[in-house]
Amino acid sequence: MLIGALCGGLRSGLAAEAGASPRPEPAPGGFVILPIAAAGNERPMAYYEGRRVLVIPQSDHYLAVVGIPLETKIGTHTVTVEGGKTKQLTFKVKPKHYAEQRLTITNERQVNPTPEDMERINDDLKHIAAAKSYFSERDPDSLALLPPATGPTSSPFGLRRFFNNQPRNPHSGLDIAVDIGTPVHAAAAGTVINTGDYFFNGKTVFIDHGQGFITMYCHLSEIQVKEGQEVARGEQIALSGMTGRATGPHVHLSVILNDTMVDPTLFLPASVVAHTSANQTNPAGEP
């Protein structure tokens, strides 16, 4: 049967602030929330495209929170459930248009890396992939996120990007333009699972919030937390910068569900989203 995305029904702990509830969007780069009928006391497990997804307990059922990759085809998709009364859930993905962005990068190596750069980049990708696919059994305290810093947004999620007229991967997060050295805060409570200084992302922090719900903060000038450290919602974790491939100082925020980058604005307060636009007059950078 076809089950639509549910906008309501989350437990109060997952909607921590008025106007900040997660807003499902069944489109590439969005996410859906699907109900799972309970079967006894055992929590079901759900999988989408072979990846385990976040499952949240409710009073008499569960909710699967499923991230949709940007490259997902339009049409009907299936989530497989193990341990619940419902064995398969289906949802429809609708089209969504993302704008185009063209950037001029003065450092040619950050557009066409040298063989030595590629060795580092390939090593970086292993660490980044491991962080993105990390899965813990903890329940997230909230799916409603705080902005990591206060400032105008520049490059929104999903931009189709060209560096020096060469096509590159779409923008995987939201950029917040702030001065170098601005405090950066954890968007939600969690555990630091990775810190590193990467070729493209610069100084980076990954925080696990539970069951594949992860945030990533990039281009930092200083990292102030360590791997394995527990952080509270809103706790300072770093200072902003423009390390890695960046054309200006900013904080890059990515949100990850089931190893999939999704649009951070779907989890941020409405007041932040209202100021987010595709204005690309001062784009900030990568990833």
Q: Are 105 and 285 in contact (CB under 8 A)?
A: no
- The CATH architecture one would assign to domain 12-93 is Sandwich (2.60)
pLDDT of residue 40: 73
pLDDT of residue 13: 41
Q: Are 239 and 115 in contact (CB under 8 A)?
A: no
pLDDT of residue 279: 42
Q: Are 34 and 66 in contact (CB under 8 A)?
A: yes
pLDDT of residue 159: 80
Q: Which fold has domain 100-273?
A: Glucose Permease (Domain IIA) (2.70.70)
Q: Is 52 exposed, middle or buried (0-12, 13-18, 19+ CB in 10 A)?
A: middle
Q: Which residues pair with 250 in a beta bridge?
A: 177, 241
pLDDT of residue 119: 93
Q: How far apart are the first and last CA of the chain?
A: 38
Pinpoint the residues of the chain covered by CATH 2.70.70.10: 100-273
Query: What's the pTM?
Result: 0.86
pLDDT along the chain (287 residues), means of 10: 38 43 92 89 92 94 95 96 84 88 56 80 95 97 95 82 56 92 98 96 97 98 98 98 89 97 92 55 46
pLDDT of residue 123: 95
pLDDT of residue 60: 87
pLDDT of residue 16: 41
pLDDT of residue 67: 98
Q: For 178, phi and psi rounded to 5 degrees? A: -145, 160
13 is written with which tokens? Answer: 């702990």
- 57 in helix, strand or coil? strand
Of 39, 33, 43, 44, nearest in space to 3 by CA: 33
Pinpoint the residues of the chain covered by CATH 2.60.40.1590: 12-93
pLDDT of residue 245: 80
